[in-house]
Amino acid sequence: MDESEGRPVGRRGFIRDAAVGAAAFAAPGKLMADETETHSHSHDHDHDHQDVPPDIALRVRALESVLVEKGMVDSAALDEIVDTYENRIGPRNGAEVVARAWVDSAYRERLLADGTAAIGELGHLGGQGEHMKVVANTPEVHNLVVCTLCSCYPWPTLGLPPVWYKSAPFRARAVIEPREVLSEFGLDLPEDVEVRVWDSTAEIRYLVLPERPAGTEGMTEEELVEIVTRDSMIGVARVETPSGGEPGGDA
Ligand code: FE
């Protein structure tokens, strides 16, 4: 997927992502723009994001250079951190938490009672995720996570936040008109489903425990991990019954 020589390019990708995120702050009106690009392939494509003010990217680069030059930041350590969150930690960790909760009701109880401890059982705690609260979707309640102030997000369970999550329109509208926002993500909730919006802070981060979709009774925990999406754990999507496969077969 990647013809880069690894870290330095990865870091450039990170800087570009940071700049795109910053641009999103400055460009209200676009909610979901070119969202998944950031995580799916921005690291190997060559074209420029035209809506990125170059001065922001330059400022980020200049800041990094100064910090490295003054010995305040070790560039190898910085590369390591970026590589960790870009390539080794991602929504799969959160998916493991969700799948475990779906197959193990005792774990589910622990998870909802003390998210931090239960996520820690699976080894998915860390910076930007030290204090976790898990909120469960039910047929009556749908949970949506936002950070109205900035972009607080549970890195150890979901990786780096998508661009739209950091965008001003999402941050504002998620609390003002959550149903409309969800509808734009393709999730139309019946009127009788209560929507709860959770505002993340530096102190506490949220993870949505989506409902286990019908027809997955025969799937193993490992198979379930594969169908849990990042968006479902932010609350802008449901987990869908996998198509194609014969759900409920012999596990
Ligand atoms: Fe924030």
> Would you name the residues annotated as active-site residues?
147, 150-152
Instruction: Give the pLDDT mean for 233-240.
Output: 97
CA dihedral 220, 221, 227, 231 (to 10 degrees): 160
- What are the Cα distances from residue 184, in Å, to 170, 173, 215, 236? 11, 11, 26, 9
Gap from CA of 171 to ligand 1 centroid (Å): 10
pTM value > 0.75: no
Residue 143: closest CA among 105, 123, 115, 169: 115
Segment 152-203, tens digit of pLDDT = 999 999 999 999 999 999 999 999 999 999 999 999 999 999 999 999 998 9
Selection from 93, 7, 22 nearest residue 57 by Cα: 22
Domain ranges for the chain, please list them.
7-88, 91-234
* Residue 206 pLDDT class (50, 70, 90 cuts): very high
Q: Phi and psi of 98, rounded to 5°?
A: -65, -50
Could you tell me the pLDDT band of residue 16, with boundaries at 50, 70 and 90? Answer: very low
Cα-to-centroid distance, 146 and ligand 1 (Å): 8
**155 C-alpha to center of ligand 1: Å?**
12
Homologous superfamily in CATH for domain 91-234: Nitrile hydratase alpha /Thiocyanate hydrolase gamma (3.90.330.10)
- 215: which residues sit within 8 A by CB, 6+ positions away? 241, 247, 248
DSSP H or E run through 199 = strand 194-199
Please name which of 154, 164, 139, 197 lies closest in space to residue 37, comparing C-alpha atoms: 164
For residue 35 the two structure tokens come to: 């969202």
Burial group, residue 201, by CB count within 10 angstroms (0-12, 13-18, 19+): middle
CA 138 / ligand 1 centre spacing (Å): 26
- 203 CA to centre of ligand 1 in angstroms: 10
Distances 220 to 35, 48, 104 between C-alpha atoms, Å: 30, 42, 12
